[in-house]
C-alpha cells in the first residue's frame, strides 16, 4: 500500500515538474481605422479631414499646411519630424488625441493618420528595428541619443499601408491596451464630419471661466465641436451633453452671457439653446475671425 502511494506521489511530482504546454499567443490586433489607436485616457480628440482642409486652404501648399498643423500642435516648440510631415502629406484623415497644457497645446499625445502610405520596407531613420504584432501591424521604437521631449514621437505604429500612428512616451502603455481592446465602445470620440471636429472633456473649458459656469461645465459629460470651412466663411457647431434638462437650461443661460461678452457684435451670428439635456451652440463667421477666437493649436490658420 505504501509502495503504491509512493509511486502515485512520484508520478504526480514528475507531471508537475515536467514540461508544460505554453498558452497560445494573444490574437493579432486587426486595426481597421486610425481612430482605434487613440487611447481613452486622453482629454481631447481632434479629427482633421485633410482633403477638405487642402481644398479650403488653397493658398497654402500641402507641405506648409502639414508643418503648420504640427507646429500648432507642439507644446515643446521643436521642429516637426520629417517622417511625420511626409505621412501627413499622404493622409486623408488625421486624428490627434492629447492631454493639453495650460495653453491647450498637446503634451502627451497620439497622432494617428489614415490614408494610403508608401510601404515601410526598412527601419525608418531615427528608429530601431521593427516588432511584428501580426495582422500586418508593426511598430518601431525611437532611437534615443538624448532624452525625448514630452510630446515627441517615442514609437511609430503602422498597420499595412492604411494607418500610421506616432505615440509620445507617456502614451505607449495606453496604446498597447487600446490594441488589446479593439472594437470596444469609447467614451470620447470626435464626430466623423466637418473639416475639423473635436471631442473634449468639458472640465477643460471650466478652466477658462469661474463661478457658477465653471461648476456647470465641470459637472457636464461630454463636449463635441464641428467646424466646416468654405472659401471665405466658417461655421462652428458645438454640443455639450449634461446630466439633466435643468442642468442644460442653467448652462445655456450662463453661456449666453459669456458669448455676448466674448463676441460683442459677432454674438448676433451665434445661437445657444438647451434641447432636453443637451446645450447646442452655432456660429457662422468669416474664416479669419473664427480662427482668431479659438485657442492657438485648435485649428490651422486661414
What pLDDT, on a 0 to 100 scale, did the predictor assign at position 151?
85
Domain boundaries, the chain: 34-180, 201-293
pLDDT tier at 289 (50, 70, 90 boundaries)? confident
Sheet (strand 278-286) strand order: 131-134, 137-141, 155-159, 163-167, 106-115, 91-100, 44-49, 196-200, 222-229, 233-241, 278-286, 270-275
Return the SS3 of 167.
strand
> How high is the mean pLDDT of the chain?
81
Q: What is the mean pLDDT of residues 203-218?
A: 81
Interatomic CA distance for residues 253 and 76, integer angstroms: 38
Whether 77 has a pLDDT exceeding 60, the answer reads no
- Local confidence band at 291 (pLDDT 50, 70, 90 cut-offs): low
Task: Give me the pLDDT at residue 301, please.
Answer: 37
Angle at 205 between CA 232 and CA 256, to 5 degrees: 70
Confidence of residue 161 (pLDDT cuts 50, 70, 90): very high
Check residue 293 and give its pLDDT.
Answer: 65
Rounded-to-integer distance, Cα 248 and Cα 237, Å: 16
* CATH number of the 201-293 domain: 3.30.70
Q: Over the stretch 174-205, which tens digit does the pLDDT of each residue have?
A: 999 999 888 777 778 999 999 999 999 888 87
pLDDT in tens, 101-129: 877 778 899 999 999 999 898 999 889 98
To 5 degrees, how large is the angle CA 86–CA 229–CA 204? Answer: 80
pTM of the model: 0.81
The string of pLDDT tens digits covering residues 17-63 is 545 665 555 677 889 999 999 998 899 999 999 888 777 766 555 55
For residue 98, the cross-strand partners are 44, 109
Amino acid at each position: 500500500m505504501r509502495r503504491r502511494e509512493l509511486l502515485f506521489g512520484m508520478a504526480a511530482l514528475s507531471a508537475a515538474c515536467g514540461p508544460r504546454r505554453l498558452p497560445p499567443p494573444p490574437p493579432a490586433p486587426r486595426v481597421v481605422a486610425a481612430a482605434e489607436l487613440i487611447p481613452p485616457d486622453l482629454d481631447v480628440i481632434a479629427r482633421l479631414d485633410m482633403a477638405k482642409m487642402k481644398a479650403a486652404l488653397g493658398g497654402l501648399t500641402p507641405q506648409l499646411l502639414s508643418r503648420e498643423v504640427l507646429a500648432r500642435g507642439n507644446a515643446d516648440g521643436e521642429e516637426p519630424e520629417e517622417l511625420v510631415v511626409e505621412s501627413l502629406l499622404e493622409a486623408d484623415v488625421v486624428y490627434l488625441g492629447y492631454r493639453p497644457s495650460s495653453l491647450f497645446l498637446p503634451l502627451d499625445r497620439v497622432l494617428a493618420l489614415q490614408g494610403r502610405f508608401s510601404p515601410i520596407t526598412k527601419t525608418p531613420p531615427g528608429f530601431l528595428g521593427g516588432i511584428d504584432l501580426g495582422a500586418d501591424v508593426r511598430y518601431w521604437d525611437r532611437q534615443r541619443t538624448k532624452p525625448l521631449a514630452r510630446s515627441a514621437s517615442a514609437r511609430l505604429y503602422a498597420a499595412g499601408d492604411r494607418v500610421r500612428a506616432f505615440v509620445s512616451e507617456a502614451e505607449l502603455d495606453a496604446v498597447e491596451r487600446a490594441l488589446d481592446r479593439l472594437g470596444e465602445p469609447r467614451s470620447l470620440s470626435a464626430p466623423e464630419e466637418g473639416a475639423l471636429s473635436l471631442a473634449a472633456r468639458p472640465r477643460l473649458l471650466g478652466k477658462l471661466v469661474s463661478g457658477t459656469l465653471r461648476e456647470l461645465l465641470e459637472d457636464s459629460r461630454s463636449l463635441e465641436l464641428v467646424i466646416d470651412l468654405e472659401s471665405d466663411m466658417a461655421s462652428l457647431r458645438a454640443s455639450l451633453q449634461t446630466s439633466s434638462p435643468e442642468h442644460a437650461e442653467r448652462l445655456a443661460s450662463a453661456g449666453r452671457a459669456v458669448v455676448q461678452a466674448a463676441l460683442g457684435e459677432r454674438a448676433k451670428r451665434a445661437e445657444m439653446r438647451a434641447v432636453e439635456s443637451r446645450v447646442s451652440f452655432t456660429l457662422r463667421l468669416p474664416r479669419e475671425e473664427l480662427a482668431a477666437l479659438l485657442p492657438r493649436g485648435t485649428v490651422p490658420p486661414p
